[in-house]
Amino acid sequence: MDTGVIESGLNVTLTIWLLMHGKEVGSIIKKKGELVKKMREESGARINISEGNCPERIITLAGPTNAIFKAFVMIIDKLEEDISNRIMSSIHSKYKGQRDILNLS
């Protein structure tokens, strides 16, 4: 019988909402919702994303606390990865010409 007790204490069911800019949500959804489907499967949380008709989108995470935590961490990790990739891409394109000149020396 499942008592709802997990390693760190009670495992209760919750719903939380995340408010995000619409352009950031695209990195979570990916092509045909592939990434968000994977997040649902791996975390066990119910993840719903509001329609894209306004600047902000609401991401709803629902389920046991451990599943919500896993989903939240996956979302944050993906956002951090995308920010890091954008920064590196920006740096690369900014200094590409200078690096090419240095390589000629």
- Model pLDDT for residues 71-98, shown as the tens digit of each residue: 999 999 999 998 888 888 877 777 665 5
Residue 1 lies in a domain: no
Residue 7 lies in a domain: no
How many structural domains comprise the chain?
A: 1
CB 43 within 8 A of CB 51: no
Q: How many CB atoms lie within 10 A of CB 81?
A: 11
**CATH at 65:** 3.30.1370.10
| Strand, coil or helix: 30 | coil
Residue 86 lies in a domain: yes
pLDDT in tens, 3-56: 444 555 667 899 999 999 888 888 788 778 889 999 999 999 999 999 878 889
Range of the domain at 66: 12-104
| Strand, coil or helix: 54 | coil
Q: Determine the pLDDT at residue 2.
A: 44
Q: Quick one: which H or E segment has residue 29?
A: helix 22-29
Type of residue found at 99: R
- The residue-averaged pLDDT of 47-70 equals 92
Q: Determine the pLDDT at residue 3.
A: 42
Nearest to 63 by CA among 53, 55, 71: 71
Q: Determine the pLDDT at residue 103.
A: 56
Residue 5 lies in a domain: no
Residue 33 lies in a domain: yes
Residue 80 lies in a domain: yes
Report the alpha-carbon distance of residue 45 to residue 28 in Å, rounded.
Answer: 15
Kindly report the pTM of this predicted structure. 0.72
Type of residue found at 24: E
User: 1 or 96, which is more confident?
Assistant: 96
CB 10 within 8 A of CB 4: yes
